[in-house]
């Protein structure tokens, strides 16, 4: 049978969503390689899963600059209601303008307006100015389709490595690894 770790990932994500207690099961730690060569990390919410990988979005932010310079990242999910961790390593692929537009259109209005109002990761002398800017864009775009800002992009994380870990407080952890080898996947267990 063909190994499909993305399918397993989706099943685990769906199980965490169904449990209903995790308010943000799509949240994960996105690790990048900083412009100075040192690691950098922050939480992100993934925007979707396709048969090619995982979609995340960004703007001309620090993470955007880092992924442009070194298009390799790690995503780490912790799903407390099922006591599971998933670690993914992969390549960052820039999506087409058409895909960017489709993904932006699917975001909720508040996210769209924040994308216009905030120049993410840039210094600001007064943080309350964002509120003003947000209100101004809300007015400008009232009853209009909000277009995608030029600096807003979606990225496909094309996985090369998965580790699925199940924590069992009464037993040893099970660590299941899938590594990409050419066009197929190899599967093995590693010790806790």
Ligand X SMILES: Cc1cc2nc3c(=O)[nH]c(=O)nc-3n(C[C@H](O)[C@H](O)[C@H](O)COP(=O)(O)O)c2cc1C
Among 35, 43, 109, 132, binds ligand X (CB under 6 A): 43
Q: Kindly identify the residues of this chain, within the stretch 116-135, that bind ligand X according to CB under 6 A.
A: 120-121
Smallest gap from Cβ 182 to ligand X, in A, equals 32
Smallest gap from Cβ 73 to ligand X, in A, equals 12
| Segment near ligand X (CB under 6 A); pick from 37-45, 83-91, 137-145, 163-171 | 37-45
> What is the phi/psi pair of residue 3, to 5°?
-80, 135
Smallest gap from Cβ 30 to ligand X, in A, equals 8
Q: Under the criterion CB under 6 A, does residue 45 sit at the interface with ligand X?
A: yes
Strands 48-49, 39-45: pairing is unpaired
Encoded tokens for 152: 């807003």
| Segment near ligand X (CB under 6 A); pick from 54-62, 128-136, 141-149, 178-186 | 54-62
Show the CA angle centred on residue 30, arms to residues 28 and 31, nearest 5°: 140
Inter-CA distances, 90 with 78, 87, 93, 150, 162, Å: 18, 10, 10, 25, 9
Encoded tokens for 113: 């307006």
Do the Cβ atoms of 178 and 79 come closer than 8 Å?
A: no
Smallest gap from Cβ 158 to ligand X, in A, equals 19
Q: Under the criterion CB under 6 A, does residue 42 sit at the interface with ligand X?
A: yes
Q: Under the criterion CB under 6 A, does residue 63 sit at the interface with ligand X?
A: yes
Do the Cβ atoms of 178 and 3 come closer than 8 Å?
A: yes
Give the binding site for ligand X (CB under 6 A). Answer: 24, 27, 42-45, 58, 61-63, 120-121
């Amino acid at each position: 049978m063909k190994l499909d770790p993305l399918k397993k990932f989706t099943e685990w994500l769906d199980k965490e969503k169904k449990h209903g207690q995790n308010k943000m099961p799509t949240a994960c730690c996105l690790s990048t390689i900083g412009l100075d060569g040192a690691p950098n990390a922050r939480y992100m919410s993934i925007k979707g899963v396709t048969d090619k990988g995982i979609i995340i979005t960004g703007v001309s932010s620090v993470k955007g600059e880092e992924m442009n310079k070194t298009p390799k990242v790690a995503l780490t999910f912790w799903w407390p209601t099922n006591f599971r961790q998933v670690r993914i390593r992969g390549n960052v692929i820039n999506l087409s303008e058409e895909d960017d537009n489709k993904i932006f259109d699917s975001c909720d209005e508040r996210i769209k307006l924040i994308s216009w109002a905030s120049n993410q990761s840039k210094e600001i002398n007064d943080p309350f100015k964002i509120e003003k800017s947000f209100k101004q864009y809300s007015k400008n775009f009232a009853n209009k389709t909000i277009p995608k800002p030029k600096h807003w992009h979606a990225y496909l994380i094309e996985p090369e490595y998965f580790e699925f870990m199940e924590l069992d407080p009464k037993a040893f952890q099970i660590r299941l690894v899938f590594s990409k080898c050419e066009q197929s996947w190899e599967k093995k267990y590693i010790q806790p």
